[in-house]
Structure 1
């Protein structure tokens, strides 16, 4: 049928994409993590960006399967995941302060960046609950709602990967320009401090 994109009206896809871009551009833990990793190196930053995007796909799958609804119905489960995410962010902040995650002798540096990017996004129940509220409004109802949610989630993930990759590349250029200055270390501390602060905020909420 004309005007359909993977079972969705073109107008719906465009409206969803506009809303998604506005949300993606809002700074949060994902952006700060990629920014910090991008300063340390282009590949690490981009890997982190794709890790975050993969986390988005995970949340999409959970929303489509209805698992996110369980988190909403059982506050204890959501709270446990929130605490786990907060502790993980705290760990990342400590690692960044020690500046040993990106030791050239560590052969798994890039793989760690991707995996940690996935976990930063995945260990955030608020994202799961957000997708539960955000996707159905655009996907609509009916037996094929799950597949339409999957398509919309994939669009969101692609947009996320594009934007955060740009953040990583920009941070890498900034890092190159500052590599001989003390400001590079200051920015690393700022990124680490931000992750530590976010972890405390999550624990206190």
Structure 2
């Protein structure tokens, strides 16, 4: 199947930066991208937590807009846009799953692993971890810091965060991904 006129117009609108085009793109393809993530992750995980699913979809959406829509600009139109997005999304999701499987996961809200032990040294490490998270949060833009606090520390849903911050629910995942990426970079520096 080749690129449809509707998809060609939507793609052109996104690439030209037309107001509302990205929202239309997300509305049209969010279900497809979510399906690809669930299917891809389901091959490696017994179940896909909603937070992981949403983060992976957000990572895909961020990749699509990175470098002035570079991935979308590379699309040649030899297939349907949906087919192209499935391939792109599957690759990004598989890469993310590979990274996750090769690194131990410590949630942002958890203190350092040694802090689980009930000892003075463990309490000291937990305090240092909490201080490190606080220091990193203070270096983030206000919107990103608020989103991170609400999601990881207050355990609020994307819907709650979007409502509280006055942004669409579909924008919460990309916002959290940007914030986490910025925190990782700050921690490395």
TM-score by length of 1: 0.34
Which entry has the higher C-alpha Rg, 1 or 2?
2
Higher helix residue share: 1
